[in-house]
């Protein structure tokens, strides 16, 4: 049982939530969505209101989680728990698997930005020319990132206390560096017009030749929505929160406001400090290109690389631990083997973490390793960059949010909780909008097969591989849920001993509703 000292107060809640979600690495997609070499894909200055819209959508999605936390005796399983109480066990399992399946994809986004995005000069592809490592550069850098991930995941096995100590130190370091970057960015932004008044375009230049349409809007929305990923993870810690009925809604409001303001402000800073022709794999490095002193430009690049790698390293720690913890409620409900819910003496869900590491490895092979090998052999750029991976993760998150918002509306209709008119209105509008985004995403996948040709009229193997792997991943989640529930789960229940059935019944009491 948790003591008062182990519970999170409101300040801890806000700090942990904001630190977990926000960070400077979201700019990795800017080389795609703010590209000046491809105006059709760019959204230019529209990025500001798009981020504001995403903050509102993310808040309404998170608000459904926060409200559902209040009517459940324990926050154990997050979206899967809420789907089960609103609908049935199958939808609880399906949502739980979706919640787990998004973790490896998020991990792939972390790996790509941990190393590859920082060394665009080694593996990048610009103007028909490869970086100094050629078309195999992505493979070498991604293998380094995978090795760093394995090192990060191994730290968890030393115990939760050591993990928290390690994560806290990295957290303070990254935010300290972020403050330095903001200061340098402001200085660079004001210096560049003085050094080269005819070539500094700032905010205005980003809107040149930009035509906002459905395709580039949806691509930008799904890519940047990934930056808000984590709020659904953070909310599921509701059983460790002091006065959760009161503190959770307040924390959600503050966290989402802070995160949205940070993203808009840092975007403005980067667009102010970076010339429009200098977007690269990691635009944050370009902030220092406005300084005339070479040592300062080199120092800035090192600073950004260290900050990015530390931040992604820390996120890899957190997401792996969460992956192990996510399997616990599924195992406790007998959907998965009991070994996945066992913890060692350090309270580490060892079985779940090992499975998560294996899942990361399989996803790494599908989404990164194979495309990298194809890129090296064909000398065609891999489509699995940060933008594609973050879009895939965003669609999985959107799927979870649709289920959870419908669950919140259902509990409202059933009078299990009091839902105000503005909540109903906000949730219905949000569902309609994100279903539209989901449909446009599916349209893009289908187009990859109906029009698989590149600009030269040749079949684009990379495009087909990217679309195929995403469809396979989604299909595997649905097939796994159906097979587990209707075959393995039913069979396992029939073999449980009376004592095991009693323990299961006692555990499932947490899936009751506390009417509000």
Residue 406 pLDDT level (bands cut at 50, 70, 90)? very high
Res. 7 pLDDT band, cuts 50 70 90:
low
DSSP 344: -
Third-level CATH fold of 10-453+463-510: Amino acid/polyamine transporter I (1.20.1740)
For 31-53, b/e burial (b = at least 16 CB within 10 A) is bbbbbbeeeeebbbbbbbebbeb
Distance CA 416, CA 118 (A): 49
Integer Cα distance of 75 and 70 in angstroms: 9
Mean pLDDT, residues 496-513 taken together: 82
pTM: 0.84
Most confident of 344-358, 375-389, 491-505: 491-505
Length of the chain: 516
Average pLDDT, the chain: 81
pLDDT surpasses 90 at 443: no
* Candidate from 194-198, 347-351, 353-357, 440-444 with smallest mean pLDDT: 194-198
Q: What angle do CA 213, 437, 412 make, to 5 degrees?
A: 140
Domain ranges of the chain: 10-453+463-510
d(CA 402, CA 416): 19
Q: Left (φ > 0), alpha (ψ -120 to 50) or beta: where does 450 sit? A: alpha
What six digits make up the tokens of 463? 């495009």
> What is the model's pLDDT at position 4?
44
Cα torsion 222, 228, 233, 238: sign: negative
Distance separating alpha carbons of residues 288 and 269, to the nearest angstrom: 12
Tokens found for residue 39: 């105006």
In angstroms, rounded to a whole number, what is the distance separating the alpha carbons of residues 17 and 256? 9
For 335, the enclosing helix (H) or strand (E) is none
Q: What is the DSSP string of 487-510?
A: IIIHHHHHT--HHHHHHHHHHGGG
Burial class (CB in 10 A: 0-12, 13-18, 19+), 306: middle
pLDDT-derived band at 241, boundaries 50, 70, 90: low
Kind and range of the H or E run holding 129: strand 129-130
Write out the two tokens for 163: 């993990």
Q: 146-184, pLDDT tens digit by residue?
A: 999 998 888 877 776 777 777 778 888 888 888 988 888
Closest-CA residue to 327 (of 336, 319, 318): 336
- Distance, in Å, from the CA atom of 25 to the CA atom of 106, rounded to the nearest integer, reads 13
Nearest C-alpha neighbor of 322 from the set 82, 153, 69: 153
DSSP state of 222: H
Per-residue tokens: 106: 């998020």
Is the pLDDT at 3 greater than 50? The verdict is: no
Spatial contact of 52 and 260, defined as CB atoms under 8 Å apart = yes
Q: Show the tokens assigned to 262.
A: 């940070």
Q: Is the pLDDT of residue 74 over 70?
A: no
Query: In 3D, which of 358, 433, 367, 446 has the Cα closest to residue 402?
Result: 433
pLDDT tens digit string along 340-376? 877 777 667 788 888 889 989 998 998 888 888 888 8
Which alpha helices (H) appear in 22-127, and where do they start and end? Answer: 30-33, 47-70, 79-86, 89-114, 120-123
User: Which of 350, 346, 336, 312 is CA-nearest to residue 167?
Assistant: 312
Which helix (H) or strand (E) segment is 125 a member of?
strand 125-126
CA angle 440, 445, 450 (to 5 degrees): 110
Residues of the chain with pLDDT > 70, as a percent, come to: 85
| Tokens coding 379 | 């000398």
CB-facing half-sphere around the CA of 403: CA atoms within 13 A: 27
HSE-up (13 A, CA, CB side) for residue 61: 30
Highest mean pLDDT among 39-43, 236-240, 363-367, 461-465: 363-367
Span 222-244, mean pLDDT? 69
Angle among Cα 351, 353, 359 to the nearest 5 degrees reads: 105
Q: Helices (H), strands (E): how many in the chain? A: 20, 2
Residue 37 reports pLDDT greater than 70: no
């Amino acid at each position: 049982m948790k003591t008062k000292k182990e519970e999170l107060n409101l300040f801890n809640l806000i700090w942990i939530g904001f630190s977990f979600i926000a960070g400077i690495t979201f700019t990795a997609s800017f080389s795609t969505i703010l590209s000046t070499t491809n105006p059709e894909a760019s959204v230019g200055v529209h990025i500001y209101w798009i981020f504001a819209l995403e903050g509102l959508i993310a808040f309404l999605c998170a608000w459904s989680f926060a409200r559902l936390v209040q009517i459940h005796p324990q926050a154990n399983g997050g979206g899967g728990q809420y789907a089960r109480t609103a609908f049935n066990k199958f939808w609880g399992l399906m949502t739980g698997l979706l919640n787990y399946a998004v973790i490896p994809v998020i991990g792939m986004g972390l790996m790509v930005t941990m190393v590859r995005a920082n060394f665009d000069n080694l593996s990048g592809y610009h103007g028909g020319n490869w970086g100094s490592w050629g078309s195999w550069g992505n493979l070498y850098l991604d293998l380094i990132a995978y090795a760093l991930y394995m090192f990060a995941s191994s730290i968890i096995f030393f115990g939760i206390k050591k993990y928290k100590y390690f994560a806290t130190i990295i957290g303070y370091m990254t935010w300290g560096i972020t403050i330095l970057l903001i200061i340098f960015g402001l200085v660079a932004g004001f210096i560049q017009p003085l050094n080269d008044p005819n070539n500094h375009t700032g905010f205005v230049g980003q809107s040149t030749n930009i035509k906002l349409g459905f395709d580039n809007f949806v691509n930008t929305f799904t890519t940047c929505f990934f930056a808000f990923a984590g709020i659904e993870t953070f909310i599921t810690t509701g059983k460790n929160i002091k006065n959760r009925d009161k503190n959770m809604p307040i924390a959600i409001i503050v966290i989402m406001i802070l995160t949205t303001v940070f993203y808009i402000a840092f975007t403005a800073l980067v667009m102010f400090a970076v010339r429009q022709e200098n977007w690269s794999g990691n635009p944050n490095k370009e902030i220092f290109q406005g300084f005339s002193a070479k040592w300062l430009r080199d120092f800035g690049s090192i600073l950004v690389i260290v900050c990015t790698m530390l931040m992604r390293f820390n996120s890899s720690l957190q997401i792996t631990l969460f992956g192990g913890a996510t399997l616990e409620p599924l195992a406790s409900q007998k959907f998965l083997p009991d070994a996945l819910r066992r913890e060692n003496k350090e309270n580490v869900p060892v079985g779940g973490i090992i499975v998560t590491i294996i899942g990361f490895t399989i996803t790494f092979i599908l989404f990164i390793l194979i495309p990298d090998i194809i890129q090296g052999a064909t000398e065609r750029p891999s489509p699995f960059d940060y933008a594609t991976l973050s879009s895939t993760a965003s669609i999985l998150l959107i799927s979870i949010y649709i289920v959870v918002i419908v669950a919140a509306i259902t509990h409202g209709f059933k009078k299990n909780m009091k839902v105000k008119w503005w909540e109903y209105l906000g949730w219905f509008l949000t569902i309609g909008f994100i279903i539209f985004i989901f449909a446009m995403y599916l349209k893009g996948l289908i187009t990859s097969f109906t029009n698989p040709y590149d600009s030269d009229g040749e079949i684009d193997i990379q495009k087909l591989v990217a679309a195929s792997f995403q469809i396979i991943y989604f299909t595997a989640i649905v097939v796994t849920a159906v097979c587990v529930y209707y075959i393995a789960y039913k069979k396992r229940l029939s073999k449980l001993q009376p004592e095991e059935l009693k323990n299961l019944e006692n555990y499932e009491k947490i899936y009751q509703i506390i009417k509000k």
